[in-house]
Amino acid sequence: MSSPCTLTLDDGTHYDLSPLGSTQSDYIAQVGETSYNLNICRGVVGELHAVEDPDTVGGYVRKDQGDFVLGRVHTNLTLSPMTNEPMYVITDGSPCPLNPDARASTAIRFICSPSDFNAGKPLLVATLPPQDPCHFYFEWRSHVACPTNPKSSLESGHYIAFGAILAIAILTWFGGHTLYNRFYLGRRGSAQFPLFHIPRPKISLPTFKSRSNGNGQGSSGGPKWGSWRRRSQRSGNGYTSIRADENDEEEGFAGRFSLDDDELDADAEDLTGVNETNAWRNQAATNGSAGVNGEAGAGAGAGKGKNVGVHQGLVDI
């Protein structure tokens, strides 16, 4: 069951004119010296003269012989057949002047006017017959006459409102962060905008050091596993220190080993002592053999040959 003074169409469009019902005063449409007093969905407030059942009067016109009733109040709204707008119709008024068997009636067509923030007032547009009228037609512009919740646009209105609020929130956040980054942090360019950065996974591939060939140019033929060294154990002839060269695959065994400078110095010292000892031993052996096979004799000649051999070894060194 619909509420009093409301109208709901098949498509869900809803009208509610109950706020226009006034308990303080009536609405007046002034035409010359004639005043038409009306109220909506309730009885008029003004005092009536020579009228039966004054509480049910929905509108009247003041006259000398008594008030003329425009119609009896009710709470039903209808739809205008020409404009599809809400209409308030009251009937069963005073007898018509030219036809006492007929009763006065009034029709008020309400027009949606969002610019009229007040309740508005009725405007007389036509009367029938022109002389001694009995039927009256009014228009009433008001924002109250606008549909309150049309079903066709209710859901879309919710989405639009939500989208507007979300857009305002995003713009406020973006603008606030941009101003903060620019003026407080002193950032410029794209760094001042609060952009979302999606981290990208990093893939690390094994890197190979370039290897130098004989021409001094780099080569990335394979990984470089580092240089290696080998040292031989101490032998009777001293130390031998070798070092693997990087281009050992191209120059053979002789080209891939080189003497280490530090170890070369140490080996030189060892070799000096070895050569000196060998020189003394070789010279003594020579002198001994000469003493056995010599022609000068075994005694003094052999002793003299030993002394000369020792001295000769020192001179050679």
When pLDDT is cut at 50, 70 and 90, the band that residue 248 belongs to is very low
Instruction: Tell me how crowded residue 9 is: count the other CB atoms within 10 A of its CB.
Output: 14
pLDDT at 38: 96
Which of residues 93, 123, 145 is at a domain's end? 145
20 and 123 in a single domain? The answer is: yes
When pLDDT is cut at 50, 70 and 90, the band that residue 81 belongs to is confident
Q: How many CA atoms lie within 13 A of 79 on its CB side?
A: 12
Residue 282 is assigned to a structural domain of this protein: yes
Structure tokens at 172: 């406020």
How far apart CA 201 and CA 259 sit, in angstroms, is 48
pLDDT at 299: 41
Torsion (CA) 168, 172, 175, 177 in degrees, nearest 10: -140
Contacts of 253 (CB under 8 A, 6+ apart): none
Across the chain, mean pLDDT equals 73
104 and 233 in a single domain? The answer is: no
The percentage of the chain sitting over the pLDDT mark of 70, rounded to a whole number, equals: 57
- The amino acid that residue 73 corresponds to is V
Instruction: Tell me how crowded residue 79 is: count the other CB atoms within 10 A of its CB.
Output: 14
Residue 252 is assigned to a structural domain of this protein: yes
More confident residue, 76 or 156: 76
Residue 153 is assigned to a structural domain of this protein: no
More confident residue, 268 or 47: 47
Contacts of 124 (CB under 8 A, 6+ apart): 29, 31, 36, 136, 137, 138
- Answer yes or no: are the C-beta atoms of 140 and 106 closer than 8 Å: no
Task: Dump pLDDT digits (tens) for 92-124.
Answer: 999 999 999 999 999 999 999 998 888 999 999
pTM beyond 0.85, yes or no:
no
> Does 307 score more than 90 pLDDT?
no
Among residues 99, 167, 178, which one has the least CA distance to residue 133? 99
Domain at 54, CATH number: 2.70.130.10
pLDDT at 105: 96
pLDDT at 265: 52
Which of residues 130, 145, 160 is at a domain's end? 145
By DSSP bridging, strand 257-258 and strand 241-244 are antiparallel
- Answer yes or no: are the C-beta atoms of 70 and 91 closer than 8 Å: no
pLDDT at 107: 96
Residue 286 is assigned to a structural domain of this protein: yes
> Does 317 score more than 60 pLDDT?
no
How far apart CA 299 and CA 303 sit, in angstroms, is 7
Residue 150 is assigned to a structural domain of this protein: no
More confident residue, 237 or 104: 104
Task: Dump pLDDT digits (tens) for 267-304.
Answer: 544 444 445 445 445 554 445 444 444 443 434 444 44
When pLDDT is cut at 50, 70 and 90, the band that residue 1 belongs to is low
Residue 177 is assigned to a structural domain of this protein: no
pLDDT at 15: 93
On the 0-12 / 13-18 / 19+ scale of CB atoms within 10 A, 44 is: buried
Task: Dump pLDDT digits (tens) for 50-64.
Answer: 899 999 999 999 988
Task: Dump pLDDT digits (tens) for 4-42.
Answer: 899 998 888 899 999 999 999 999 999 999 999 999 999
Owning domain of residue 44? 6-145
pLDDT at 210: 52
On the 0-12 / 13-18 / 19+ scale of CB atoms within 10 A, 189 is: exposed
Q: Give the bridge partners for 315, in sequence order.
A: none
Q: Which segments of 31-107 does DSSP mark as H helices, in order?
A: none
More confident residue, 303 or 191: 191
pLDDT at 180: 86
On the 0-12 / 13-18 / 19+ scale of CB atoms within 10 A, 182 is: middle
Residue 73 is assigned to a structural domain of this protein: yes
Residue 83 is assigned to a structural domain of this protein: yes
SS3 158: helix
How far apart CA 245 and CA 178 sit, in angstroms, is 60
- The amino acid that residue 250 corresponds to is E
Contacts of 303 (CB under 8 A, 6+ apart): none
How far apart CA 197 and CA 203 sit, in angstroms, is 18
18 and 125 in a single domain? The answer is: yes
When pLDDT is cut at 50, 70 and 90, the band that residue 194 belongs to is confident
Among residues 138, 140, 148, which one has the least CA distance to residue 111? 140
Domain count for the chain, please give it: 2
Q: How many CA atoms lie within 13 A of 83 on its CB side?
A: 9
Which of residues 145, 174, 201 is at a domain's end? 145
Among 47-51, 57-61, 215-219, which stretch is predicted with the lowest mean pLDDT? 215-219
